[in-house]
Amino acid sequence: MERIYVDHAATSPINPKVIEKMMEIMGSDFGNPSSIHHFGRRARHIIDEARAELAKSINAEPNEIIFTSGGTEADNHAIFGVAETYGKNGKHIITTQIEHHAVLHACKKLESLGFEVTYLPVDQEGRVDAADVEKALRDDTILVTIMYGNNEVGTIQPIKEIGKILADHPAIFHTDAVQAYGLEKINVKEYGIDLLSVSAHKINGPKGIGFLYVSKDVKLSPRFFGGEQERKRRAGTENVPSIAGFLEAVRISQREMEQKVIAYQGFKAAFLKKLTENQITFSQNGSLDYSLPHVLNLSFPGTNVEAMLVNLDLAGIAASSGSACTAGSIDPSHVLVAMFDQGDERLQNSIRFSFGLFNTLEQIERAGEETSKIVKRLTK
Ligand SMILES: Cc1ncc(COP(=O)(O)O)c(C=O)c1O
């Protein structure tokens, strides 16, 4: 049985060109980038090259990029870093109810340390209202952290509008762009973004590497202490092979962004067409106008998540209930809870399909066909 992976928002397969690059670097460039000899200089060169290109991809300067171990560390560094450096100016933080847990749990921790956090609601499409951000701003607001695109339902937030509102306020603007990077054109200077998190494993790069963009106007206290790596902002010997792989993944994703967006929009349409042809009752969770192209979150009345996922897996379809990081838990998704009422049936019967590398139209049509069969069986 051919297995069809439609869970790319959880993690994505590593591009073979990335694997090739990493293998090459692991074999040849093992030097410590802090060493002044030839081996060290070669490793340093790899990092410098990656930093410059990654910066360029979001219109930042090379020294505004800090390599991290991924999205979670980037989010934590942003949030705790701002709290520590700017906490003397105020203790208020604004975020949304639909953030990834890397942001939500960091905010919860700060509450226990005396900070006050406003968790903004979203509408039924999972979108925060920029006017609500403006209303929530106070003189003592030091941080606004709002994700770029949601990992469970794909809704894109009004980042540009929020950036404009914050232009007249000293609060630092952080956005978790882990799902959006590589599929959305991001310009940190134009959008007024001060801090931005990215993770390589969502764009066909290796796990355990990411970056935090830190505007040169923002001073963040470090999270790790030790050597002087990353200009004393993140101690620890750099993960050179992963950084080289990350660069390769970024090069490919920047080059192929437009084709990917078109392909994934086509996959969404093809999947939905199959369901309609098979007369399946479903509704789409998220926004039709503001959506990441690779995420399709669907509710199937009369089914339940666990039965759907087990049956899909038996049919060779790897999908998910939403946030990969909470997979296995039977708690309803906090994102859907924020979008709908507590007792809404959609909290129990929603499935996320997310598309990416190696998916073909034939695969997506088969996934749509198998999903239709399962829904029919479960609702008989
Ligand atoms: C929106 C979002 N933020 C943060 C993360 C965490 O990134 P990482 O797995 O690199 O720690 C994820 C991963 O699921 C995500 O989807």
Any idea which residue has 């009422």 for tokens?
Answer: 341
Q: Which residue did the predictor score with more confidence, 326 or 71?
A: 71
Q: What is the pLDDT of residue 342?
A: 84
Q: Is the pLDDT of residue 80 over 70?
A: yes
Tell which atom from ligand 1 comes closest to the C-alpha of 200: 10
- Residue partners of 314: CB distance under 8 A and separation at least 6: none
| 199 within ligand 1 shell (Cβ under 6 A) | yes
pLDDT at 324: 46
Task: Tell me if 146 sits within 8 A of 157, measured CB to CB.
Answer: yes
* 8-state DSSP, 346: G
Q: How far is CA 135 from CA 5, 83, 118, 132, 339, in A?
A: 42, 21, 11, 5, 20
DSSP string, 14-64: PPHHHHHHHHHHHHH----TT--SHHHHHHHHHHHHHHHHHHHHTT--GGG
Atom 15 in ligand 1: residue holding the nearest Cα:
178
How much is the average pLDDT of 96-107? 98
* Protein residue whose Cα sits closest to atom 5 of ligand 1: 71
Does the pLDDT at position 108 exceed 90? yes
Ligand 1 centroid – CA 377 distance (Å): 34
Instruction: Specify the pLDDT at position 332.
Output: 87
Q: Establish whether residue 71 lines the binding site of ligand 1, counting it when its CB lies within 6 angstroms of any ligand atom.
A: yes
> Rg (Cα) of the chain, in Å, rounded?
21
| Listed range (57-66, 326-335, 350-359, 365-374) with the worst mean pLDDT | 326-335
Catalytic residue flag (residue 325): yes
Q: Is 72 in the pocket of ligand 1 (CB under 6 A)?
A: yes
Task: Look at strands 92-96 and 141-145 and give their pairing.
Answer: parallel
Mean pLDDT of the chain: 96
- 3-state helix, strand, coil split of the chain in percent (to 5) is 45, 15, 40
Distance from residue 189's CA to the centre of ligand 1 (Å): 23
CB-based burial label for 164 (10 Å; 0-12, 13-18, 19+): middle
User: What pLDDT band is residue 341 in, cutting at 50, 70 and 90?
Assistant: confident
Which residue bears the tokens 């001060």? 194
Picking from 221, 249, 255, the residue whose alpha carbon sits closest to that of residue 66 is: 221
% of the chain at pLDDT higher than 90:
96
CA–CA separation, 211 vs 198, rounded Å? Answer: 5
Residue of 179, 204, 321, 354 to mutate, ligand 1, most atoms within 8 A of C-beta: 179
> Sheet of 116-120: strands edge to edge?
65-68, 210-214, 195-199, 172-176, 141-145, 92-96, 116-120
Residue-level pLDDT at 139:
98
Rounded Cα distance between 196 and 243, Å, is 17
Express each pLDDT in 151-186 by its tens digit.
999 999 999 999 999 999 999 999 999 999 999 999
- Cβ-contact 323, 100 below 8 angstroms: yes
Q: Is the pLDDT of residue 1 over 50?
A: yes
In order, the DSSP letters of 293-339 are: TTEEEEE-TT--HHHHHHHHHHTTEE-BSS-GGGTT--SPPHHHHHH
Strands of 350-354's sheet, edge to edge? 283-285, 295-299, 350-354
Q: pLDDT of 310-332, one tens digit each? A: 999 999 999 998 644 455 555 78
202 with 166: CB under 8 angstroms?
no
